[in-house]
Chains A and B, each alone.
Chain A
Amino acid sequence: MRSSLGPKDKLTVPSVIPTTFQSLQQANMSEMLETGKAPVSKPLPAPSAFLHTPESIPYSSSPSIIHLKRDLLVPLSFQSDNAEPETHDARAAAYNSKGVLNTRFGDFPHSSIVGIPYGSQVRAAPLTNNQQNRKRKRKQDTGEDVATEPTTSTGFLHVLAPTAELWTASLPHRTQVVYTPDSSFILHKLQVRPGSVLIEAGAGSGSFTHAGARAAYSGFEFHKERVQKLTDEIERHGLDGLVEIVHRDVCKDGFLVTRKVGKQEEEDTSPGATAVFLDLPAPWLALPHLTRRTRPTPSLPTSTGLTPSPSPGPGASVEKIGETTATATAVRICTFSPCIEQVTRTVSVLRKLGWVDIEMVEVQHRRIEVRRLNPKGYEDGAGPRTVGEAVQRLKWVGKYRDHKREKDSADSTIATVKQNPTEAWKTQNNREKKGAKAGKIVTRIEPEIKSHTSYLVFAVLPREWTAEDEAAAQTLVKQTTKGVVDAPVDGNLKGNGKPKWKGEREEKPMSKRQVKKAEREKRKAEEKRLEREEEMEDESAPPANEEERDDIPGAEGGNGKIEVDG
């Protein structure tokens, strides 16, 4: 199936296998577990059920998601009957015995599930003789009637194809999980797309790993006890061609991947990442390792203004993210920290290391539940629905009391048997039919919301830009364009031959009417001035008056001078 995608698609699935690392708390781990089993040359990864839904549910190690009911999902892989069922965790094991899935909705032999398409609803198997016998026995013990046991009835479940979201939802919570709202936003913001190389440090439960591998179609991850588990998991899920797991203390040892180069020779190479996700307790310790180039001395870049590249980290650990690919592109980072103190430190270090566009956000997510509200009334043994009902019933209560008193005094045998108010209500307000559309639709928020997951810090490390790069770009520009970069150039650009990029604003040509108006006003002002001069010459006015007069034309001119004075 996968191979059918191959040749026609423009996309080449990356041949570089991304790395995932993680570590941190285990500062003492000198051992490095690398599961770089992925042959770099493999053009297309083996189809994983996570990335390509098979036509029907296979016997495989990759899990399917069993949907028992809302929010009750169990990951389960189906093995052929004689194989030992493989359990991913205790929870799934509890459901699973000897090729049969036991749930409170019935028993489901694996053989009844395998081979049908994903998304199918599955009926529980009819009870076996053994079970019936057991049940009967129990019932007899409790003295219940055996015959009422409905032997034909079955419950059901749905079998779904695994996705990163369902997998996360069905995860036994081993660690803090990066939930879908967060992971989706991170991947979108980091612009992870097929071919991206993503580093995830602190892979934890692997929920983000699945989502990341899906988006990047190439991938990465890791924790000491967990690394083995995760490696198994990734392998089982068929993602091992996309994800490389490295066990490492990134804060101390950095991000370089040891990869076999040529014959037996090991070399630390840069993963060439374009996106980095750090889920570490102290991301600022790992940041200095994320640099672009090897710098022999940790000196600050020269202030040519052309090298906004970060200074390397302290100490001898000097490495590069990508000498080959990633130097040519910007690198985006996201750190995931629950505490504000972690954020401020991370941001401060990012700023020092030359990352730009730093922003911090948190994602708030809520799920809404929808239901129909059918308020209960007296007939259900509850209170009134409206004031009207309350009033009516109170009236009845009064009448009933009167009636009762009469009855008592008259010593019974009165023909009219009055109902007590509640019964009367029931007979009068026979419950109307309640269809699916009855009642008001109301909403409420899910019972427990995750009011805080973590703070997300995003930043971009722009591509390195040196004086040589600049020179190269300039020559390229000269070759491909008319070469209008620095020098003011003649005016084929736009009309009148003036250089346009000096920030000069072009005067708007005035319309004829405007020109005439301006002339008219000029003429008038001139006349006035002349008049005034004449006046001044004629009568030598007192200075106060003169001032006054001076103000008048100013006011007529309607201008800012007055505003300024005020």
Chain B
Amino acid sequence: MSEERILPYTYLLLRLPSGAPRVVRLIPDVTISLGKFGSFPSNALLYRPYNLTFDILDSPAVGLRLVSAEEATRDILGGSEDAEAEGTGHYDLEIAGDSEEDGGEMMRTNKETIDDPLSQKLSWVEIEQLKKQGTGSGRRLLESHTAIHQKTPFALQKYTLRKTKKFLRRFTVLPLTVTSLTTYLLNSKEPIKILEMRSETIAVMLSLANVHYGGRYLVIDESGGLLVSAIAERLGLLEHTPTDSEESKEQDTVRKRCPPDTPLPTANTITLIHPNEQPNLSLLKYFSYDTNNPTASHPLHTHLKTLNWLQLVDPSADSSLEKPEEIPAETLATLKGGKRAAYWRKRRRWEKTSRTVAEAQNGGFDGLLIAAFMDLKGILRHTVPLLKGSAQIVAYSQNREAVIELADCYSASSKAEWMNEGEGVADDEDGVGDPTIVLAPTIHETRVRKWQVLPGRTHPAMTARGGAEGVVFAGTRVLPVEGKVEARGRFRGQKRRQGDSDNGKDEEAAAGGRFGGQKRKKGDGDNDSDEEAAAGGAGGVMPAPPLEQVKAEV
């Protein structure tokens, strides 16, 4: 398990007392500097477990000191757990007067607390000096604060905590997982590059898309590889123990010798469609996979297949899919080593690409996951037909509007229009193509709310990240039957008025006997329209095509 120990050349996430995360690559024999918190030799972390907390030792000592969990917890809480339990006196009532008649009960408040800069007796210079001394300065600060007794116990704790956090030279080593990477990128880096995808959104996508070991997934990922890494984690493809250089070299030579038609895995794979010539999967470097210079032993090397849109949509126009000239074996033997290697390399690349493209075009994928800036409708138009029946479709967009528009394309009325008017209607470049192959489109919005849990002070976090809401579209690929189908059944609004019923029959005739029941319902007013008008395609109910209705009336 990768979590076991910190291995050389892995990426770590260091969480500083201030809460700021720092991503560090652990290279042996170097110094890791944490700015004002100090620095330490990287070897002090090597082969140690994750999730531990360390203090950076002050000079003259060097290195790190392991902080026990109790100590770390106590410092986070600003007091020990036992003190915590007693600390609930905050809400206790104090008797202000001697008798109840006088003053009754009063709560301890902060009305006496006056914000006065003079209450801190240390001067600016002295504080600076303290800071340089490092640890323990927080305590000194507290001691010299004259108004400290005026603070309520909770306020005091908060104050202590704030001051300690500022000066504590402590950090926690966390494994860089998909979850922690997401949080890190979202809060500290450029969130727009990962489409402001939150962990909970990614989690919901993985579940809705039914991602599991053994499946074949079609992925469109413009978040720099974040979605791909999340899927890879679920497929068990992300864990990789970096081998030392000798081993990888050996494997390289083995790979070269093996025949070019090595079968690539046909299950448990990710097929990525990317808009540029090369995929942007830069975030995979945090999981020790570099797309430009892939490690052959990494599971992603064989299980991640990439092709671009041109290769999928119009393969004949792509020059990289042209078969390289074949050189007969005899001439090949006469070539120089370099040329021969180049020939084989070129040939292998072509074989790999063409096989990936052929596989993609054959379809039969178990799921489709999308996180893209591009227009979702166009993506679905080209990719949904490649899915197996009952495969799940999941698409993420930063903005609600894009997803809503997409869901509208699969609305019941769109489907009806498509079926009645024939393929021509919705078949424009911007559309989704055949809307009847996606069942029950739904839109999900999910958000996690953090809470502070302290004895007597449990409440939701006061602030949270705003920005893009992040919406997920989910649907199921289905195989519609040939020919026409009719919605039939007992509907709630079946009692119809006399006039409408005649009308309905006429319509039925006009519409070729289709959608009879539904139409009558429409005529009835909005009794039931809620039922099937919701985001579209209710399974058994095909609503009246309004055009038909109008025609019938005419």
A residues in contact (CB < 8 Å) with B: 2, 4-5, 8-11, 13, 51-53, 67-70, 72, 103-106, 117-124, 148, 150, 152-161, 163-165, 180-181, 183-185, 187-189, 191, 193-195, 211, 214-215, 217, 274, 301, 303, 305-308, 310, 325, 328-330, 340, 343-344, 347-348, 351-352, 354-372, 431, 433-438, 441, 443, 455, 457, 460, 462-463, 465, 470, 473, 476-477, 480-488, 493-494, 499-504, 560, 563-564
Contact assessment for A477 and B43 in the assembled complex, using a CB-CB cutoff below 8 Å? yes
Q: How far is the CB of A179 from chain B (nearest CB, A)?
A: 10
Specify which of A118, A215, A365, A487 is in contact with B445 (CB 8 Å cutoff). A365
Contact assessment for A503 and B58 in the assembled complex, using a CB-CB cutoff below 8 Å? yes
Contact assessment for A68 and B540 in the assembled complex, using a CB-CB cutoff below 8 Å? yes
Mark out the residues of chain B between 407 and 441 whose CB falls within 8 Å of any chain A CB in the assembled complex.
407-408, 411, 413-414, 416-417, 426, 439-440
Inside 8 A of B30's CB, which chain A residues have their CB?
493-494
A-B contact pairs, 12 of them (CB 8 A): A123-B485, A158-B476, A159-B390, A191-B233, A214-B210, A343-B451, A363-B448, A371-B534, A434-B546, A465-B48, A500-B33, A564-B124
Inside 8 A of B550's CB, which chain A residues have their CB?
431, 433-434
Inside 8 A of A330's CB, which chain B residues have their CB?
3, 49-51
Q: Residue among A328, A352, A369, A499 with the most chain B CB within 10 A?
A: A369
Contact assessment for B50 and A462 in the assembled complex, using a CB-CB cutoff below 8 Å? yes
Contact assessment for B478 and A158 in the assembled complex, using a CB-CB cutoff below 8 Å? yes
**Nearest residue, chain A, Cβ from B414:** A436
Instruction: Known contacts A119-B478, A153-B513, A462-B49; decide if A124 and B488 are in contact (CB<8 Å).
Output: yes
Q: How far is the CA of A189 from the CA of B483 in the complex (A)?
A: 46
Inside 8 A of A195's CB, which chain B residues have their CB?
236
Contact assessment for B56 and A476 in the assembled complex, using a CB-CB cutoff below 8 Å? no
Contact assessment for B200 and A185 in the assembled complex, using a CB-CB cutoff below 8 Å? yes
Q: Residue among A152, A155, A441 with the most chain B CB within 10 A?
A: A155
Inside 8 A of B70's CB, which chain A residues have their CB?
308, 354
Q: How far is the CA of A49 from the CA of B28 in the complex (A)?
A: 47
Contact assessment for B207 and A367 in the assembled complex, using a CB-CB cutoff below 8 Å? no
Instruction: Known contacts A330-B51, A344-B455; decide if A155 and B68 are in contact (CB<8 Å).
Output: no
Contact assessment for A123 and B207 in the assembled complex, using a CB-CB cutoff below 8 Å? no
**Nearest residue, chain B, Cβ from A8:** B265
Inside 8 A of B66's CB, which chain A residues have their CB?
305-306, 308, 465, 470
Specify which of A184, A193, A348 is in contact with B233 (CB 8 Å cutoff). A193
Q: How far is the CA of A477 from the CA of B123 in the complex (A)?
A: 45
B208, CB-defined interface residue at 8 Å: yes
Instruction: Known contacts A189-B199, A369-B534; decide if A481 and B46 are in contact (CB<8 Å).
Output: yes
Cβ contacts B110-129/A at 8 Å (1 or 0 each): 00000000000001110000
Mark out the residues of chain B between 1 and 55 whose CB falls within 8 Å of any chain A CB in the assembled complex.
1, 3-5, 8, 28-31, 33, 38-41, 43-44, 46-53
Specify which of B366, B488, B505 is in contact with A106 (CB 8 Å cutoff). B488
Contact assessment for A435 and B546 in the assembled complex, using a CB-CB cutoff below 8 Å? yes
Contact assessment for A214 and B212 in the assembled complex, using a CB-CB cutoff below 8 Å? yes
Q: How far is the CA of A156 from the CA of B542 in the complex (A)?
A: 10
Contact assessment for A484 and B41 in the assembled complex, using a CB-CB cutoff below 8 Å? yes
B487, CB-defined interface residue at 8 Å: yes
Contact assessment for A481 and B43 in the assembled complex, using a CB-CB cutoff below 8 Å? yes
Inside 8 A of B46's CB, which chain A residues have their CB?
473, 476-477, 480-481
B81, CB-defined interface residue at 8 Å: yes
Q: How far is the CA of A370 from the CA of B486 in the complex (A)?
A: 23
Specify which of A184, A191, A194, A484 is in contact with B43 (CB 8 Å cutoff). A484
Inside 8 A of A352's CB, which chain B residues have their CB?
81
Q: How far is the CA of A519 from the CA of B332 in the complex (A)?
A: 72
Cβ contacts B464-487/A at 8 Å (1 or 0 each): 000000010000111111000111
Contact assessment for A367 and B443 in the assembled complex, using a CB-CB cutoff below 8 Å? yes
Instruction: Known contacts A5-B214, A364-B448, A481-B28; decide if A370 and B208 are in contact (CB<8 Å).
Output: no
Q: How far is the CB of B161 from chain A (nearest CB, A)?
A: 15
B285, CB-defined interface residue at 8 Å: no
B291, CB-defined interface residue at 8 Å: no
B385, CB-defined interface residue at 8 Å: no
Q: How far is the CB of A8 from chain B (nearest CB, A)?
A: 5
**Nearest residue, chain A, Cβ from B546:** A434
Contacts A53-B391, A120-B481, A433-B550 known; 13 new A-B pairs at CB < 8 A:
A69-B532, A106-B488, A117-B388, A152-B513, A165-B208, A180-B208, A188-B179, A348-B81, A357-B174, A358-B453, A455-B451, A473-B5, A484-B29
Cβ contacts B523-536/A at 8 Å (1 or 0 each): 00000000011111
Cβ contacts B288-307/A at 8 Å (1 or 0 each): 00000000000100010000
Q: How far is the CA of A130 from the CA of B444 in the complex (A)?
A: 45
Specify which of A122, A163, A361, A502 is in contact with B448 (CB 8 Å cutoff). A361
Contact assessment for A370 and B404 in the assembled complex, using a CB-CB cutoff below 8 Å? yes
Contact assessment for A122 and B540 in the assembled complex, using a CB-CB cutoff below 8 Å? no
B263, CB-defined interface residue at 8 Å: yes
Q: How far is the CA of A217 from the CA of B8 in the complex (A)?
A: 29
**Nearest residue, chain A, Cβ from B391:** A119
Q: How far is the CB of B247 from chain A (nearest CB, A)?
A: 14
Contact assessment for B56 and A503 in the assembled complex, using a CB-CB cutoff below 8 Å? yes
B399, CB-defined interface residue at 8 Å: no
Contact assessment for B481 and A343 in the assembled complex, using a CB-CB cutoff below 8 Å? no
Contact assessment for A441 and B455 in the assembled complex, using a CB-CB cutoff below 8 Å? no
B235, CB-defined interface residue at 8 Å: yes
Inside 8 A of B284's CB, which chain A residues have their CB?
none
Contact assessment for A104 and B490 in the assembled complex, using a CB-CB cutoff below 8 Å? yes
Inside 8 A of B547's CB, which chain A residues have their CB?
433-435
Q: How far is the CB of B498 from chain A (nearest CB, A)?
A: 14
Q: How far is the CA of A488 from the CA of B61 in the complex (A)?
A: 10
B308, CB-defined interface residue at 8 Å: no
Inside 8 A of B345's CB, which chain A residues have their CB?
none
Q: How far is the CB of A334 from chain B (nearest CB, A)?
A: 12
Q: How far is the CA of A168 from the CA of B454 in the complex (A)?
A: 34
Specify which of A189, A343, A355, A356 is in contact with B458 (CB 8 Å cutoff). A343
Q: How far is the CA of A433 from the CA of B268 in the complex (A)?
A: 49
